[in-house]
DNA sequence: TCAAAAGTGTTGTCCTTACACCCATGT
DNA sequence: ACATGGGTGTAAGGACAACACTTTTGA
């Protein structure tokens, strides 16, 4: 006998919420939108949406991210499934959260104004709906954890970037000060950076050399362990 | 206006599946059951069940684990949400997987025969339903990742254990051979072990000293980074 | 007395850290 | 000329990895 349904079981809505990080050259930032429907319409929220009937979670997350940013092929990784029965007061809704790292400059080119999105400094996150604050906290933890061993923060950097910019990024992620001599030695020792022969002349008088990521090596070595952060705690 | 439902959205079943690891003193093992209902009745499967209407995912996982093992307070951590639309052929069912580490001796005392459960050696996993093989693969990866930096494998060990037993466990998890001198130095340097003054005389002639875990230090230091495995790859 | 597993120490290498000065440029 | 941030080298200490012999005891 062919079974058609699991009877008497509870079905629920499943949504995706995206925790979207960006980096503006000085600080790590988080992209939030103004919620466009009830309840809580008009309050700040993570970008999200319901999973469609014939869509995997990964596809739903990519679709939702693209809706907001118009970007394809960005770094997107499942973070955690939030399933508290009353997290959405309207109706039981599970949220599968995804963690995204995007190049803020790519975003700026493609910006959609439909969602009233803004980049927030991580120290200045406004009040958010539901359990979104908890989601962000977990995403920050995961970013630290991952970046301590994998070169994942390159996903946040533009095509060309300088070592001082990179150091700003690491210092912001770990909320700590890093010695620039040790930092540059460690980063360069990965062999992932290709020095360019021109400088960024905007952020200092002397100018800092641009580097590009060696994409081939990056792909190959992504899962190798690195150890970027001295004395890091999670 | 009070909203009662999100209209026109797709609702789905949400299930929990538990990847349950144990350690018998020599080898890492995985607990599987014989599925008790259609479809795929009688085939090997992870222990699972549907999330009830008013139950969080964590609570559902703990309930389902207890159903099989009769154990409370075991190590249980969310692993990943599997959401492929056709992963269950009957009806769309998301699976939130949980990763569990239990002391196999506790389990043996409490065994429930209702599910025809068996412990499988990780090299000899039988054919499994749906995407359960993929779940196990991910769980193995996470176990390695986590155990490389956190003392989580203690969850698999009985109250009293010997260093050779512990080393067997680490060697099994990482499928590699570890130098016992370096291993004991590293493990003991954590300060987490309390040497007992009697020996296990069963597994060797000379006998190996028992140790107990210093639970207080274990709790306090769980999130500190360790580095147990030389040259480990994920 | 022999076999089998437990237990223990040393050394060289490499990685990590701490630290200070010179350079290039715009104002 | 000076202030600002960029770029580089060295030395000391600690962690890690490689390695071999002695001990205990049951058979």
Residues B9, A50: C-beta atoms closer than 8 Å? yes
Task: Kindly tell me the burial class for residue A64, based on how many C-beta atoms sit within 10 Å of its own C-beta (0-12, 13-18, 19 or more).
Answer: buried
β-strand pairing of B11-23 with B93-101: parallel
Residues A10, B38: C-beta atoms closer than 8 Å? no
Domain extent at residue B64: 13-149
pLDDT in tens, chain A (234 residues): 567 788 788 999 999 999 999 999 999 999 999 998 888 899 999 999 999 999 999 999 999 999 999 999 999 999 999 999 999 999 999 999 999 999 999 887 777 788 999 999 999 999 999 999 999 999 999 999 999 999 999 999 999 999 999 999 999 999 999 999 999 999 999 999 999 999 999 999 999 999 999 999 999 988 877 777 776 655
- Per CB-CB distance under 8 Å, the chain B contacts of A38 are 1, 3
| Same-domain pairing of B130 and B163 | no
Boundary of a domain, candidates A92, A123, A149? A149
What is the residue whose two structure tokens read 């359990």? A131
- Rounded to whole angstroms, the maximal C-alpha distance in chain A is 78
Chain A contact for B138, CB < 8 A? Answer: no
Predicted confidence band of residue B38 (pLDDT cuts 50, 70, 90) = confident
pLDDT at A43: 97
* d(C-alpha A93, C-alpha A80), whole Å: 14
Cβ neighbours, 10 Å, residue B189: 10
| Same-domain pairing of B137 and B31 | yes
Task: Look at residue B229 and tell me if it is in a domain.
Answer: no
Task: Look at residue B167 and tell me if it is in a domain.
Answer: yes
CATH of residue B50's domain is 3.90.79.10
* d(C-alpha A192, C-alpha A221), whole Å: 9
Buried b (16+ CB within 10 A) or exposed e, B116-144: ebebeeeeeeeebbbbbeebbebbbebbb
Highest mean pLDDT among A224-228, B179-183, B218-222, B225-229: B179-183
What is the residue whose two structure tokens read 């995407």? B131
pLDDT at A96: 98
| Same-domain pairing of A43 and A89 | yes
- CA distance to partner chain A, nearest, from residue B172 (Å): 21
Inter-residue contact A23 to A157 (CB < 8 Å): yes
Task: Look at residue B61 and tell me if it is in a domain.
Answer: yes
| Same-domain pairing of B142 and B60 | yes
| Same-domain pairing of A164 and A145 | no
Task: Look at residue A226 and tell me if it is in a domain.
Answer: no
* d(C-alpha A209, C-alpha A211), whole Å: 7
Task: Look at residue B31 and tell me if it is in a domain.
Answer: yes
What is the residue whose two structure tokens read 């992620």? A173
Residue B210 clears pLDDT 90, i.e. is over it: yes
| Same-domain pairing of B40 and B68 | yes
Q: What is chain A's alpha carbon radius of gyration, rounded to the nearest angstrom?
A: 20
B5 three-class SS: coil
Residues A12, B14: C-beta atoms closer than 8 Å? yes
Predicted confidence band of residue B36 (pLDDT cuts 50, 70, 90) = confident
Boundary of a domain, candidates A94, A127, A149? A149
Q: Can you say whether the dihedral through the CA atoms of A186, A187, A190, A195 is positive or negative?
A: negative
CATH of residue B182's domain is 1.10.10.10
Residues B85, A1: C-beta atoms closer than 8 Å? no
| Same-domain pairing of A184 and A68 | no
pLDDT at B92: 97
Task: Look at residue B226 and tell me if it is in a domain.
Answer: no
Query: Looking at chain B, how many residues does it have?
Result: 234
| Same-domain pairing of B140 and B158 | no
Boundary of a domain, candidates A103, A118, A149? A149
Q: Distance (Å) from CA A161 to C1' D9?
A: 24
| Same-domain pairing of A46 and A22 | yes
Residue B234 clears pLDDT 70, i.e. is over it: no
DSSP line for A13-54: EEEEEEEEEEE-SS-EEEEEEE--SSSSTTSEE-EEEEPPTT
Residue B146 clears pLDDT 90, i.e. is over it: yes
Task: Look at residue A179 and tell me if it is in a domain.
Answer: yes
Protein-covered nucleotides of chain C (CB closer than 7 Å) are: 3-10, 15-20, 23-26
For B14-23, the pLDDT digits (tens) are: 999 999 999 9
Chain A contact for B219, CB < 8 A? Answer: no
Q: Is B208 near strand C, with its CB below 7 A from some atom of it?
A: yes
- Would you state the structure tokens that stand for residue B233, as one six-digit string? 């790859």
Q: What is chain B's alpha carbon radius of gyration, rounded to the nearest angstrom?
A: 20
Q: Distance (Å) from CA B147 to C1' D7?
A: 39
B165 contact partners, CB below 8 Å, separation of at least 6: B25, B157, B200, B203, B208
| Same-domain pairing of A47 and A77 | yes
**Touching A: B residues 151-210, CB under 8 Å:** none
| Same-domain pairing of B140 and B107 | yes
Predicted confidence band of residue B224 (pLDDT cuts 50, 70, 90) = confident
DSSP line for B157-192: S-SEEEHHHHHHHHHHHHTS---HHHHHHHHHHTT-
DSSP count for chain A of H helices, then E strands: 6, 10
pLDDT at A231: 67
* d(C-alpha B153, C-alpha B146), whole Å: 9
Residues B56, A92: C-beta atoms closer than 8 Å? no
Task: Look at residue B231 and tell me if it is in a domain.
Answer: no
The total domain count for chain B is 2
Mean pLDDT (chain B) is 93
| Same-domain pairing of B137 and B156 | no
pLDDT at A2: 65
Average pLDDT on B106-113 reads 78
Residue B7 clears pLDDT 70, i.e. is over it: yes
pLDDT at A101: 98
* pTM (global) more than 0.85: yes
């Amino acid at each position: 006998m062919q079974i058609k349904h699991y009877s008497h079981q509870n079905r629920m809505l499943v949504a995706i919420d995206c925790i979207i990080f960006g980096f503006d050259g000085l600080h790590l930032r988080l992209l939030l939108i103004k919620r466009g429907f009830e309840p809580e319409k008009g309050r700040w929220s993570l970008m999200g949406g319901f999973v469609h009937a014939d869509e995997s979670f990964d596809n739903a997350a990519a679709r939702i991210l693209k809706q907001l940013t118009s970007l394809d092929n960005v770094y997107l990784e499942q973070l955690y499934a939030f399933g508290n029965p009353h997290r959405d007061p309207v109706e039981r809704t599970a949220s599968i959260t995804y963690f995204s790292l995007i190049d803020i400059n790519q975003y700026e080119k493609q910006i959609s104004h439909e969602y009233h999105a803004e980049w927030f400094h991580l120290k200045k996150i406004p009040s958010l709906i539901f359990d979104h604050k908890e989601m962000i906290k977990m995403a920050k933890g995961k970013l630290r954890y991952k970046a301590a061993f994998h070169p994942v923060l390159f996903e946040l950097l533009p095509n060309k970037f300088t070592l001082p910019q990179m150091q700003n990024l690491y210092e912001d992620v770990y909320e700590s000060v890093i010695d620039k001599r040790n930092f540059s030695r460690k980063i360069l020792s990965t062999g992932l950076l290709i020095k360019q022969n021109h400088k960024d002349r905007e952020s200092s008088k002397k100018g800092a050399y641009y580097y590009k990521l060696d994409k081939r090596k990056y792909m190959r070595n992504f899962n190798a362990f690195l150890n970027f952060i001295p004395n890091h705690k999670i």
